[in-house]
Amino acid sequence: MTINQIVCCTDFSTNAEAAFETALDLAKQYRAKLYVVHVLPPAVNPMLTEADLVMPEYPDENLVVSLNERMQEVYAQRIPDTLDCELVVRDGHVSTEVIRFIEETDADLVVVGAFGLSGMGLVLFGSVAKRIAHKAPCSVMIVRPKTD
């Protein structure tokens, strides 16, 4: 298997941290380009019906700037200068945007955490990892954090 481009999805959760560590190790091992991607999901009120739902055309720019800064703080310093890496923030439906990004970059492997959202969020939106695993045009690695 040739791995030239790896996409790692993050929502800054414990599971996403495990996925990042794995993706970083694989990128070093294969000398692959690493994309660390965060998708800003649309704000959804679960009390609204589909007919009442009005989505803003563009996300709050301050929030996007904050997420870019957080990506830099959490990930950039841990990536060696010798590794080709890009930190990416997108907005929209999470699994749809991740799949679109995978297709655009022609990624060879996607690394995701087993779970990101929990509780009511997981019930409402389903598992992003599951959707990516079913729809990605490349191999998908689902990572769980080590338990002591």
DSSP state string for the chain: ----EEEEE--SSHHHHHHHHHHHHHHHHHT-EEEEEEEEPPP--TTS-TTT----SS--HHHHHHHHHHHHHHTGGGS-TTS-EEEEEEES-HHHHHHHHHHHHT-SEEEEES-SS-THHHHHH--HHHHHHHH-SSEEEEE-----
Structural domain includes residue 35: yes
Domain holding 54, by residue range, is 5-143
pTM higher than the cut 0.75: yes
> Could you give the number of structural domains in the chain?
1
CATH code: domain of residue 41: 3.40.50.620
148 lies in a domain? no
pLDDT tens track for 111-135: 999 865 444 444 334 488 889 999 9
Q: Per residue in 93-116, pLDDT tens?
A: 889 999 999 999 999 999 999 865
Residue 88 lies in a domain: yes
Q: Give the pLDDT band (50/70/90) at residue 147.
A: confident
In this model, does residue 144 exceed pLDDT 90?
no
